[in-house]
Amino acid sequence: MTELSSSSSSTTTRFYVLDAGVFTQSASGIFASFSGDATLATTQLVFEELVSDSARLAMEILGEKLNIINPKEGTIKDVMIAATAMGEYGISRTDASVIALARDTGGTVVSDDYTVQNVCTGLNVPWLPVRKKGITDFRKYESRTKCKACGKPLNNKGEGACAFCGKGFSGKRQQVR
Model confidence pLDDT, tens digit, residues 96-140:
999 999 999 999 999 999 999 999 999 999 999 988 888 888 887
From 2-6, 21-25, 126-130, the region with the lowest mean pLDDT:
2-6
CA atoms of 65 and 69, how far apart (whole Å):
13
Asked if the model's pLDDT at residue 142 lies above 80, the reply is no
What are the residues whose beta carbons fall under 8 Å from the beta carbon of 57, sequence distance 6 or more? 28
Give the range with max mean pLDDT: 28-32, 145-149, 169-173.
145-149
CA atoms of 153 and 148, how far apart (whole Å):
10
> Are 66 and 55 contacting, i.e. CB atoms less than 8 angstroms apart?
no
pLDDT of residue 132: 82
User: At 160, is the pLDDT very low, low, confident or very high (cuts 50, 70, 90)?
Assistant: low
Domain ranges within the chain, ordered by starting residue: 13-128, 141-175
pTM as predicted: 0.75
User: At 4, is the pLDDT very low, low, confident or very high (cuts 50, 70, 90)?
Assistant: very low
pLDDT of residue 10: 43
- CATH number belonging to the domain at 13-128, selected among 3.60.150.10, 2.40.50.660, 3.40.50.1010, 3.40.250.10: 3.40.50.1010
Task: Encode pLDDT of 26-72 as tens digits.
Answer: 555 666 667 677 889 999 999 999 888 888 888 888 888 889 999 99
Alpha helices in the chain (DSSP H): 20-24, 44-49, 53-62, 73-85, 93-105, 114-122
CA atoms of 158 and 118, how far apart (whole Å):
27
